[in-house]
Amino acid sequence: MSSITSVMAQQYSDSQKLAARARINSKYTIAEVGWFPWVAGKLPLEAGDRILDVGCGPGWFWSATANGLLEALDLTLADLSPGMVEEAAQRCKPLTFRSVQGQQADASVLPFDDGSFDAVIAMHMLYHLPDPAKGIAEMYRVLKPGGFLAVTTNGAGNMRRMYELTTVFGSPPSDPAAAAFGFETAERLM
C-alpha cells in the first residue's frame, strides 16, 4: 500500500482536511475559470442521463455546477468514506437533479450492475487505488455502451513550490498523487 492510500481513512472521514487543501488551491490559483465549472463544460452530458460520481467526496463539484447542467439527471454519489457519502447526498439532494442516491462503495469493486450508467465521473481519486487499472475497468463495466468516463488527476508539477518547501518536514519533494496516477499513466490506462 502506498503512503497516500495508508493515510486515507484519516484524510477522508469527513471533508475537513480536504477543505483545508481546497482553500490553498483557491487562494493561489491563477486559472481564469474555476476548476469545477471548467470540468463541467467538458462533460458531454445529455438530459435524462444516469450519472455515477466515484470518489464523490463532499459533492462540491455538483453544488458548484448544478445550475448550469441539463435537466432530469439522475445522480449516484459513491465514495469509500461513509462520511463523505452522507455529506455529498445532503448537499446534492436539494439541488436540481431528478434523483440523488448515496452509496458507500470501493471503486475497485463497484456495487452496480453492468451497463447501469450513461456517464461515470472520477475526479482526483484514482491515485488512491492500489490498482487504478482495476478501478477504470470497473467504471467501464458499469457504463452503458456509448456512455462516457471522465477522469481528472494531478499533473507532475502540481504545487511544486509547496512540495519543495515541505521537504523540511520530511514530505516528498513532489506530488505523490501525480506519481501514482498522473497524466501519462491516466492516458495509458484509459
Ligand X SMILES: C[S@@+](CC[C@H](N)C(=O)[O-])C[C@H]1O[C@@H](n2cnc3c(N)ncnc32)[C@H](O)[C@@H]1O
- Span near ligand X by CB under 6 A; candidates 44-52, 55-63, 95-103, 162-170: 55-63
Binding to ligand X, residues 118-157 (CB under 6 A): 123-125, 128-129
Say which DSSP state 115 is in.
Answer: T
For residue 52, state whether it binds ligand X (rule: CB under 6 A): no
Q: Which of 2, 4, 18, 43 is in the footprint of ligand X by CB under 6 A?
A: 18
Which of 15, 111, 21, 25 is closest to 63 using CA atoms? 15
CA torsion angle 119 55 178 145 (round to 10): -20
Q: How far apart are CA 190 and CA 184, in angstroms?
A: 10
Contact 50, 115 (CB under 8 A): no
Residue closer to ligand X (CB basis): 79 or 118: 79
> In whole angstroms, how close is the CB of 30 to ligand X at the nearest point?
19
For residue 75, state whether it binds ligand X (rule: CB under 6 A): no
For residue 79, state whether it binds ligand X (rule: CB under 6 A): yes
Q: In terms of C-beta density within 10 A (0-12 exposed, 13-18 middle, 19 or more buried), how is residue 23 classed?
A: exposed
Q: Which of 69, 75, 100, 107 is in the footprint of ligand X by CB under 6 A?
A: 107
> In whole angstroms, how close is the CB of 105 to ligand X at the nearest point?
6
Contact 15, 57 (CB under 8 A): yes
In the bound state, the residue with its beta carbon closest to ligand X is 57
Residues of this chain that interact with ligand X (CB under 6 A) are 8, 12, 18, 54-57, 60-61, 79-81, 84, 106-108, 123-125, 128-129
